[in-house]
Amino acid sequence: MADDERKQAVQAAIHGELRLLDPEVRAVPARVLELLDPEFTEIGASGRRWDVESVLTVTSGGSVSAESPVKVSEMSGVLLAPGVVHLTYFAENQGRRAWRSSLWRLTETGWRMYFHQGTLTG
């Protein structure tokens, strides 16, 4: 695979990740569903296990607002295999600081988040 293809895959995953953190996207379940794989799972910073349905409940509940957006830094990604990207980054929101890790996979409808994990930091 060419470097350009690798970069495009990583950029697509980064774009999707940032959209999922956008309060306007999170407020519309249909827009969130466009970005989550049907088999999506998450192990949250709280240790709780999430699926698509439980994430939709939280995202539509205003867990991130325009007044207090998630601050993202140190975002990086790597293409693990054709159609699979791993992202890592640092996120801060309302005093909670966490390292985040996501797996994105390419589907017939585009890049979708397959797995996400957050680990709180001090």
Examine the pLDDT at 10 and tell me if it is beyond 60.
Answer: yes
Task: Give the per-residue pLDDT at 45.
Answer: 83
Looking at the predicted structure, is the pLDDT value of residue 111 above 60? Answer: yes
Mean of all residue pLDDT scores within the chain: 91
Predicted confidence (pLDDT) per residue in 34-66, tens digit: 999 999 999 988 889 999 998 888 777 656 566
DSSP 7: H
Q: How far apart are CA 100 and CA 72, in angstroms?
A: 10
At 59 the pLDDT is: 77
Chain segment 70-90, per-residue pLDDT in tens: 899 999 999 999 999 999 999
Say if residue 70 is exposed, middle or buried (CB neighbours under 10 Å; 0-12, 13-18, 19+): buried
How does DSSP classify residue 68?
Answer: B
Q: What is the pLDDT of residue 78?
A: 97
Can you tell me the distance from the alpha carbon of 66 to that of 3, in angstroms, rounded to the nearest whole number?
35
Closest CA to 21 of 95, 71, 77: 71
